Structure 1
Amino acid sequence: MNNVLDIFKEITTIPRCSGNHEPFINYMKNFASKNEYLCLVDKFNNILCKKENSKANLCLQNHYDIVCLSDNCVPKIVEEENFLKAENSTLGADNGIGCSYMLSLMTQGYDCEFLFTSDEEIGLIGANNLEHKLNAQYMLNIDSEAEGEICIGCAGGVDFFAKNSSKQIIENNENYQLYEVTVSNLPGGHSGVDIHLNVPNGIKLIAQTIKENNGLILDINGGERINSIPVNVKAIVAFKNEPKIIPNENICINKIDSKTEHLNVWSSDICDFIYTFANGVRAFDKDLNVVLNSINLAKIKTNIDDIEIELSGRSMSNSYLELLKKETILLLESFGFEVKTDGKYPAWKPDVNEFTNMILDIYKKHNPNASLEAIHAGLECAIFKDKFPHMKIASIGPNIFNPHSTREKVEIKSILNIGKIVKDIVDTF
């Protein structure tokens, strides 16, 4: 597995933002042919590579798309103090590293099923719509992000898409002044695995500034991806008095030197909803040391006829996920929003079995402190467990920090450590 780093650097040059499939598919067709594998692509851009007369008992699986905070981003890798980072963008270690392990194994000719799924980062689209048939009895997903942890369960999730079209034109009889309010350069992070770290939410911060200064919203836009904690938000707001900035160095308020006799303002319900919304962790299990339920207000956008809000909810329990869905829909509707949901995926109930115990035994030869864990984020494992009930599944991965943000980095030493473990697992099967 000594070529994993080189492979990762190579595929990082291939455009892999969610929704962009063709460049990586073409790469995989050439790669598979060179290494004597079949390369099968279904209608949802999932790629399955296997030997022509495969008798594989193990499937290795990862998604090949990455979160891009700007369109058509191709990360530029920087190596710094035993870490790989990227210049002013996400790195794509989530999940380029997992793909690189699989590609390395293909160069060694292993008889496994190698499944590369599409568009995981925008709703697990590839996994949900998989058309390939898998014959393997076991699946190793390499999309986890903490060395020493073997994931055997994960949260389910649901995305909310809400619209409020209530606005009116009012006469500016009270001498309102226009201001640009900006929240920028917040830390950001993954709205699942980072939700308990008290990372500030840009949309919540800007709503607090507007509400506590009795402002009226004319325009508001912010947030990067539905599965990220929002970093940048900007609004045009009318204030009757000079606004006071809440204590936060990431907030900036600038007066706009123009006056208007009329103001086209959005309903105060929009700001009231954001201001009062209980964003973040809703329940935490101290015994398991895992978030049970959470919800993140991820994006906001002003259109000609409405303001759109996107949220992402997660739960370790399918029943609580359904309750969170119903509660959030009712709450949004009470503030005048029309609501749709999408991107729902099931929770993966923790399952200890002969496969997970075997993975644990192999792992402990390299790391005596290894343990079986569950994670508060969506893994495709939950969908595959639902599609292939007979399959035994586990997920591992190297240390990846701050995914879905410009601070994303992966530890080089950890990549190499996990490479040895992956190879030992594959050799066992």
Structure 2
Amino acid sequence: MEVKSVIEIFEELTKIPHCSGETHAMRRYLVDFAKGCGYEVATDAIGNVAAYHPKSRVTLQSHYDMVCIGAAPDIETVVDDGWMRAKGSSLGADNGMGVAMTLWLMRKGAPVDALFTNDEEIGLVGAGALELAIRTSCLLNLDSEELGKVYIGCAGGEDIHAAKPMAGRAVPEEGAWYRLVATAPGGHSGVNIADGIPNAITELCGAICANDGMEIASLAGGERINAIPRRAEALVWLPEGKEPKGCEALEVTEAEGAPGFVAEGRRVVQALFGFAHGVRAWNRELNLPQNSINLATVEMDTKACRIALSARSMANDELERLVAQTVAGWEACGFTCEREGKYPAWKPEVNAFGDTVLKAYKKVVPGASYAAIHAGLECALFAERFPELKIASIGPTILDPHSDRERVDLASVEKVMAVIEAVVADLSSI
């Protein structure tokens, strides 16, 4: 297997804009590619693409949208010591590498069905509204991100959007205006939530709270609801004679003033600082977070405040409680909350197909094992809708997805590709 060919296909994909919600060009590419390889092709209203082979026994599934951070969708790839990354942006290996591996097999005419789902990164939209048939009894999802793991379980999740009208208040006396900017590494709000990565919104609000008398004219932070915020900034005012303190970790510059500041600005900032972003409970059996919540984005000025949060749990009942508690807390602060994008947890369960995948994996990586992930996989929706479908998930090692530090281990791509080919060959006699 020439992994170079897979990488070449992936690099071709990086040149096609496919940020979540803006995937039309990639969809056309996938349809044309599949037809060019001789596969029967179907699409549905939500933008999913299926390619069928008459002798297929397994469906290879991946999503074709990506989380665009930084300069993306303008992506310039770089390879350093066996790792591929992008200059100043997310790479899109999540889940573009899964798409590329599938296309490489299709180029060879492999007896597989392919299902490319749309807008996974903004609430598993494509999988949730799937109108296309899954014709095989087995589905191999290619959206996992750790070599040597066969995933058979994942977290469920739901997003919360809180909003409240704001009012302005005139500046009462002489003072000075400053712009405060907090930066952090960023990361995936599920995979990286237990890694101790600072939340830029929390850091900024903590610094503001440390300054008595500091008022806020505007505050904004975060980029995507499924990414740990890597930047937050605020325009603030201090009475004459006071200077910002406790802001050593922030970028502080003098700024032009505003007509006034948010009347309840400090109260909202205190609530944001006090909100317990991160892991809420740990699953000792699976050795990963059981429950977590990401304080994802905030926008506040003298007209309105909008806050977005993303909750995850390995159990559906615990997810419901976590979301309900979060809604109750923000409603107590006068916010109106909306819930959206809910998807279920995928309860870990071993089946014959998973055993086949693990057997093939151990021939490539002897220490391969089953695992679960504290992130959403479309497998959960497929398992709920198609209870007889046998599902497993694998993928190459991808670090720090949903950030401009995203990178993929190219050697792991070759190994995972070998596993996929072995699985396809093993199922061909079924």
TM range (shorter): over 0.9
**CA distance in structure 2 between the partners assigned to 1:123 and 1:259 by the alignment:** 37
SS of equivalent residue, structure 2 residue 297:
strand
Within 5 Å, which residues of 2 pair with 1:373-392? 373-392=371-390
Taking structure 1 as reference, are residues 357 and 216 closer, same or farther at Cα in structure 2, changes over 3 Å only? same
> Residue 168 of structure 1: CA displacement?
3.4
Q: Separation in 2 of the partners of 1:86 and 1:246?
A: 31
Q: Quote the residue 2:120 is aligned against.
A: 120
Over 4 Å off, 4+ runs: 257-260
1:230 aligns with 229
- Asked if residue 104 in structure 1 is aligned to residue 104 in structure 2, the reply is yes
Matched ranges for 1:4-15 at <5 A: 4-15=6-17
Report what 1:315 is aligned to: 313
Q: Which amino acid in 2 is paired with 1:90?
A: S
Could you tell me which residue of structure 2 aligns to residue 74 of structure 1?
74
Identity value in percent: 40
| CA shift in 2, pair 1:263/1:92, >3 Å | closer
Where in structure 2 are the equivalents of 1:176-195 lying within 5 Å? 176-184=175-183, 186-195=184-193
The answer on whether the counterparts of 1:401 and 1:409 sit within 8 Å (CA) in structure 2 is yes
The residue type paired with residue 274 of structure 1 is L
Query: What is the Cα deviation at residue 257 of structure 1?
Result: 5.3
Amino acid at match of 1:21: T
Q: What is the alpha-carbon distance in structure 2 between the residues aligned to residue 32 and residue 353 of structure 1? A: 30
SS state of the match for residue 198, structure 2?
Answer: coil
> 1:31, CA displacement in angstroms?
1.1
Contact in 1 for aligned 2:215/2:261 (Cα 8 Å): no
For 1:152, the equivalent position in structure 2 comes to: 152
The aligned amino acid for 1:26 is R
Residue matched to 1:368: 366
CA distances 1:243-289 after superposition (whole Å, capped 9, x unpaired) = 113452xx1122235586x5454443311211111110001123321
> Does residue 37 of the first structure (1) align with residue 39 of the second (2)?
yes
Contact 2:18–2:26 (CA under 8 A) maintained in structure 1: yes
The offset of 1:216, in angstroms, is: 1.6
Q: Distance in 2 between the 1:8 and 1:171 partners?
A: 54
Task: Tell me which moved more, 107-116 or 412-421.
Answer: 107-116
Q: Secondary structure of the equivalent of 2:228?
A: coil
Q: CA deviation at 1:133?
A: 1.3
User: Which deviates further from its counterpart, 286-295 or 312-321?
Assistant: 286-295
Deviations along 1:53-88, one digit per CA (max 9) or x if unpaired, are x24321110000111025761311111110111110
Find the counterpart in structure 2 of residue 220 from structure 1. Answer: 219
Aligned-partner SS, 2:188: coil
TM-score by length of 1: 0.95
Classify the secondary structure of the residue corresponding to 2:420: helix
CA distance in 2, matches of 1:127, 1:85: 28
Query: Letter of the aligned partner of 1:158 in structure 2?
Result: E
C-alpha separation in 2, matches of 1:69 and 1:403: 10
Cα deviation 1:98-134 (Å, max 9, x = unaligned): 0011101111212222000000111111111111011
Work out the CA distance in 1 between the residues paired with 2:372 and 2:97: 21
Partner of 2:94: 94
Q: Output the CA distance in 2 between the equivalents of 1:239 and 1:287.
A: 50
Contact 1:167–1:267 (Cα < 8 Å) also in 2: no
Contact in 2 for aligned 1:28/1:39 (Cα 8 Å):
no
Amino acid at match of 1:225: R
Alpha carbons 1:117, 1:126 under 8 Å: kept: yes
- Structure 1 residues 170-211: Cα deviation after superposition (integer angstroms, max 9, x where no partner): 4514x3432111113x21100101000110100000100111
Determine the structure 2 residue equivalent to 1:25. Answer: 27
Residues 428 and 303 (structure 1), Cα distance of their counterparts in 2 relative to 1, 3 Å cut: farther
- Which residue of structure 2 aligns with residue 253 of structure 1? 252
**In 2, Cα distance between the equivalents of 1:347 and 1:69?**
26
- The reply to whether residue 327 of structure 1 matches residue 325 of structure 2 is yes
Identify the match of residue 414 of structure 1 among 412, 415, 419: 412
Matching residue's letter, 2:21: G
Write out aligned runs for 1:265-280 (5 A): 265-280=263-278
Corresponding position of 1:290: 288
AA in 1 matched with 2:253: N
Q: Which of 192, 205, 208 does residue 206 from structure 2 map onto?
A: 208
Return the letter of the residue paired with 1:221: A
Q: CA RMSD in A?
A: 1.6
1:243 aligns with 2:237: no
- Native 8 Å contact 1:224 1:230 kept in 2: yes
Matched, 1:83 2:83: yes
For residue 30 of structure 1, give the secondary structure of its aligned residue in structure 2: helix
Change (3 A) 1:13 1:332: same
* 1:392-425 superposed Cα distances (whole Å, 9 cap, x missing partner): 1100011101101111110111111111011101
Verify: 1:60 aligned to 2:48, yes or no.
no
Q: Secondary structure at the match of 1:116?
A: strand
Quote the residue 1:129 is aligned against.
129
CA shift in 2, pair 1:378/1:159, >3 Å:
same
Cα separation, 2, equivalents of 1:161 and 1:32: 38
Task: Indicate the SS of the match to 2:103.
Answer: helix
**C-alpha spacing 1:206/1:107, structure 2 compared with 1 (3 Å):** same
- Equivalent AA in structure 2 for residue 18 of structure 1: S
Q: In 2, distance between residues paired with 1:394 and 1:305?
A: 48
Number of positions where the alignment pairs a residue of Structure 1 with one of Structure 2 = 422
